[in-house]
């Protein structure tokens, strides 16, 4: 019987779709399923993800932007700084202090987050794919990503009105680029992050001073 010339392509495409689903949407939906009052510890969420754990941690840090909670920026801002600093230093997987690693979001919050962003992820899954992976793996590129996240995290910690959703979308783009190893999306995230830093950093007038104090504490 003559083989269907479209079958290998269909199989390959199906495999790529399954990998993307497992990499982002299915992972998130598995966290959303279950007792809504159960707390998902960050330590358990990141277990076994390797370097992709940076992307998943950023993904979780977008929660306050889409599911507004009190002092959301004060919680997620320092976490974004911590993630960025570790990428800047070249760590292969994220490290979290125990008092942070043992905490995390409720499944109910993850379910509400899933309902909010799932339609967008569904539209993006055909566009996001592994490409230009040097922007994900190359040391200098990782350092640039880390530096931008440090600055964005510092801005997020400031009480600047109407910025939570803007920074949330930017963090989500960084997270998806890391999870899906999409260097093109990472370049776009760099551009959006640089614009946000330039605009809101100048408006706040505090970013440089905060960055200097943070560097002093690290050194």
pLDDT in tens, 91-147: 888 888 888 888 877 777 777 777 777 777 767 777 888 899 999 999 999 999 999
> Using an 8 Å Cβ cutoff, are 191 and 139 in contact?
no
Q: Phi and psi (nearest 5°) for 182? A: -105, 100
Q: Is 196 part of a structural domain of the chain? A: yes
CA distances from 60 to 112, 171, 191 (A): 12, 10, 22
Q: Is 76 part of a structural domain of the chain? A: yes
| Model pLDDT for residues 164-207, shown as the tens digit of each residue | 777 778 888 999 899 889 999 999 999 999 998 888 766 666 55
Q: Domain range spanning residue 47?
A: 7-218
| Model pLDDT for residues 28-77, shown as the tens digit of each residue | 677 767 777 788 888 887 876 767 788 888 888 877 766 665 555 567 78
The alpha helices in 40-182, defined as continuous H runs, are: 42-46, 52-61, 63-66, 72-89, 98-101, 107-124, 134-137, 139-157, 164-180
What confidence tier does 7 reach under pLDDT thresholds 50, 70, 90?
very low
Q: Is 2 part of a structural domain of the chain? A: no
Q: Structurally, how many domains does the chain consist of?
A: 1
Least Cα distance to 158 among 202, 120, 121, 110 occurs for 202
Q: What pLDDT is stored for residue 163 in this prediction?
A: 67
Q: Is 160 part of a structural domain of the chain? A: yes
Is pTM beyond 0.75 here? Answer: no
Q: What pLDDT is stored for residue 10 in this prediction?
A: 42
Q: Phi and psi (nearest 5°) for 188? A: -65, -35
Q: What pLDDT is stored for residue 145 in this prediction?
A: 95
> Using an 8 Å Cβ cutoff, are 62 and 126 in contact?
no
Least Cα distance to 26 among 98, 118, 99 occurs for 118
């Amino acid at each position: 019987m003559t083989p269907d010339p479209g079958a290998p392509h269909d199989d390959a495409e199906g495999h790529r779709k399954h990998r993307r689903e497992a990499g982002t949407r299915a992972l998130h939906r598995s966290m959303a399923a279950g007792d809504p009052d159960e707390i998902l510890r960050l330590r358990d969420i990141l277990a076994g993800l390797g370097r992709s754990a940076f992307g998943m941690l950023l993904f979780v840090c977008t929660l306050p932007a889409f599911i507004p909670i009190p002092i959301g920026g004060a919680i997620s801002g320092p976490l974004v700084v911590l993630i960025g600093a570790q990428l800047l230093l070249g760590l292969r997987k994220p490290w979290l202090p125990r008092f942070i690693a043992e905490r995390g979001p409720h499944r109910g919050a993850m379910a509400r987050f899933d309902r909010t962003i799932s339609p967008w992820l569904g539209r993006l899954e055909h566009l996001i794919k592994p490409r230009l992976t040097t922007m994900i793996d190359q040391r200098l590129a990782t350092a640039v990503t880390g530096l931008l996240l440090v600055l964005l995290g510092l801005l997020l910690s400031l009480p600047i009105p109407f910025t939570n959703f803007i920074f949330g979308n930017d963090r989500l783009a960084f997270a998806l680029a890391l999870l899906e190893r999409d260097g093109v999306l990472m370049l776009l995230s760099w551009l959006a992050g640089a614009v946000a830093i330039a605009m809101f950093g100048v408006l706040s007038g505090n970013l440089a001073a905060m960055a200097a104090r943070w560097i002093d504490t690290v050194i």
